[in-house]
Amino acid sequence: MTTKGNKKGFSTRAVHSGRGFVGNTGAVMPPVYLTSTFAQGNADGFDYTRSGNPNFRLLEQSIATLEGAEHATCFASGVSAITAVVSSLKSGDLIVAEENIYGCTYRMFERVFAKFGVQARYFDLSRSENWPQISALKPALVWLESPTNPLLKILDIAGISALGAPVVVDNTFASPFLQRPLELGATLSLSSTTKYINGHSDCLGGIVATNDAAWHKRMVFAQKALGLQPSPFDAWLTTRGQRTLAVRMERHCANALALAGWLEKQKRVRWVRYPFLPSHPQNQLARKQMSGGSGMITIELDGDALAFCRKLELFTLAESLGGVESLICHPATMTHAGVPKAVREQVGITDGVVRFSVGIEDVADLIADLEQAL
């Protein structure tokens, strides 16, 4: 199966790639290879599931075609994928990171890899006046995330990649349907497949896609040497989930755009942040590098935000995002509870901020639910 050279449309690739290993059964979809080990000398070159399994290869092929990449390597979770990338650095290496990165990435930099001499420095990389820091510091890696969590900042992937340092983009919030970092010049595109790629909130996973053979070797090494591999069943579930990525993302985008526009007109809503609304500070950049605004909306409410969350019926108050079902998150008491209040508020995460992961339900029902809760 060709990956990067595959000229078929996105949806066709999502449906038709990653369908091998059916033997002579004629099965239209591949089986789950629930085996820990393989007989020596088999034609496909498998030895032990920590270093490879047919279900990993199928998932890696399909995500590589979606990211427009030569290679992809699958992991047990998004955090495992981040571990794989950071563990490839060595003591003394510097990471320049966007200051609004995912909390677990920040925690890993500061509480795990800092102990081994990998240093991270943080800048607001949505401001191009901070980019000369990248040219001056010559980091081993630039760590981007776009859109960011929960404020949905958009970073200029092509502009930052053109500075020459290797760039990794956490593409989780956009998914490869809406944004392909490697085509914009990034070295690595990383996703928590737990979110949009699998899309059904029934397993964890992570993936790293690249066109760089040396980085691919490092990812394969990390998968087996650090024990970061997923289970074959989770790889199978994720391969099934990604087949419908295009149709799900189209609905997530349409629902979120309609909801965001509706929210902007509500008196109790102080502000609405959604990349494809004209009011978003980087709306033009978002439209340049993404083909849709995705399903995430962040707003600030007047009054008790937690009471509002609890009154909703179709939006479950829960962490995570990107599933078919709508969720709502109150960052101040959930994802960012560990951040001191003053620090949180300084970056805009007040007690009134709530983040929606807009699902693929009927948008009229979602709006009615918000209306009764407001």
Residues forming contacts to ligand PLP in the complex (CB under 6 A) are 77-79, 102, 104, 145, 149, 170, 172-173, 192, 194-195, 204, 206
Report in angstroms how near the CB of residue 77 gets to ligand PLP at its nearest.
Answer: 3
Structure tokens, 50 = 């920590």
What's the min distance (Å) between Cβ of 109 and ligand PLP? 13
Q: From the CB of 320, what's the least distance to ligand PLP, in Å?
A: 7
* Cβ proximity to ligand PLP, 83 vs 211, nearer residue: 83
Least distance to ligand PLP from the beta carbon of 173, Å? 6
How many whole angstroms separate alpha carbon 157 and alpha carbon 184?
A: 6
**Shortest Å, Cβ 75 to ligand PLP:** 9
- Residue number, 209 or 269, with CB nearest to ligand PLP: 209
Count the Cβ atoms, other than its own, within 10 Å of residue 239: 29
Report the 3 state secondary structure along the chain: CCCCCCCCCHHHHHHHCCCCCCCCCCCCCCCCCCCCECCCCCCCCCCEHHHCCHHHHHHHHHHHHHHCCCEEEEECCHHHHHHHHHHCCCCCCEEEEECCCCHHHHHHHHHCHHHHCCEEEEECCCCHHHCHHHHHHCCCEEEEECCCCCCCCCCCHHHHHCCCCCEEEECCCCHHHHCCHHHHCCCEEEEECCCCCCCCCCCCCEEEEECCHHHHHHHHHHHHHCCCCCCHHHHHHHHHHHCCHHHHHHHHHHHHHHHHHHHHCCCCEEEEECCCCCCCCCHHHHHHHCCCCCCEEEEEECCCHHHHHHHCCCCEECCCCCCCCCEEECCCCCCCCCCCHHHHHHCCCCCCEEEEECCCCCHHHHHHHHHHHC
Q: In the bound complex, what is the minimum distance in angstroms from residue 138's beta carbon to ligand PLP?
A: 25
Cβ proximity to ligand PLP, 65 vs 171, nearer residue: 171
Residue whose CB is less far from ligand PLP, 87 or 269: 87
Alpha-carbon dihedral 133, 185, 247, 372, rounded to 10 degrees: 10
Which residues does the annotation mark as catalytic? 50, 102, 170, 195
Nearer residue to ligand PLP within complex by CB, 223 or 363:
223
Cβ at position 338, least distance to ligand PLP in Å: 16
Decide whether 145 or 156 has the Cβ nearer to ligand PLP: 145
Give the residue with the Cβ less far from ligand PLP, 173 or 236. Answer: 173
Residue nearest ligand PLP by beta-carbon distance: 78
